[in-house]
Amino acid sequence: MQLTTETVRTAVAAALIEDQAADDVTTRWSVPEALQVEATMIAKQPGRVAGLPAVQEVYAAVDPTVTVRAAVADGDPVVPGQPLAWISGAARSVITGERVALNFAQRMSGIATLTSAFVAAIGARPVRLLDTRKTAPGLRAMDKYAVTCGGGTNHRFDLSAMVLLKENHLAAAGGVLPAVRRVRDGMTAEDNGMAIEVEVTTAEEACEALDCQVEWILLDNMSAEQMALIVERRNTSGSTARLEASGNITLDTIAEVAASGVDAISVGALTHSPTAIDISLLVTRSHG
């Protein structure tokens, strides 16, 4: 997905309010008002970059006279010591915006870096790596954008984007067949057709979903062997349903899952527990 200016601006505004950037007492009382500085944002470890639009928006909001020049582009791989951006302007403004700018860059680069590692583990297999809705509250667009910077693909953005019948929906509706039937009745009543995906945990449920001719079937917490059998059943049945694997898939197991023949693999860890990349912002020169 592409980030809109409004999306970035909204996220940055909330972060600056949270940090009380307009009342940075430490900087206001310790840094000379007229001092100008040049600073460099530097990668401290290898990774994949994401979040530079947020860095630029942070400084545009803190002080429009501050200049931010990107040294790399989102999605680029970086090595330790590599500059990510050069920032120049009033020292107070550069320092006040530092933490919020780094928070965005570090988290988003962490997501992009983890995503790129999963993509590399899948290798040349024709399998898409998908994210989930397990994102930081208020930062979904930023998190999902970072996934694309790492080479991943976005799953549904929100609850209105498609139908995804999960275990609690199936339990409440009485099973796969009645749940799908009710969804299709609802689509007809509201004249709002869209793709249907059904989460299944057993081969029996998977067969029911295939019989329902839904667009996607989510194979949750199944072994690679179980998934391979369902892939074979799908292929021999003439069904056009695409198969998605999910459930505690790690860098150690994703290659085996991809080899089962599924069409996509979703990994919640991409956004619910990324490790932030170590990035620093260092003043390199001052004058005035």
Kindly list the catalytic residues: 99, 134, 166, 199, 220
Q: What is the rounded CA–CA span in Å between residue 162 and residue 167?
A: 16
Task: Write the DSSP assignment of 117-166 as a string of letters.
Answer: HHHHHHTTSS-EEE--S---TT-HHHHHHHHHHTT-B---SSTTSSEEE-
- For residue 11, what are the contacts with CB-CB under 8 A and spacing of at least 6? 54, 104, 138, 139, 141, 142
Identify the CA nearest to 143 among candidates 18, 268, 285: 268
273, exposed or middle or buried, with CB in 10 Å at 0-12, 13-18, 19+?
exposed
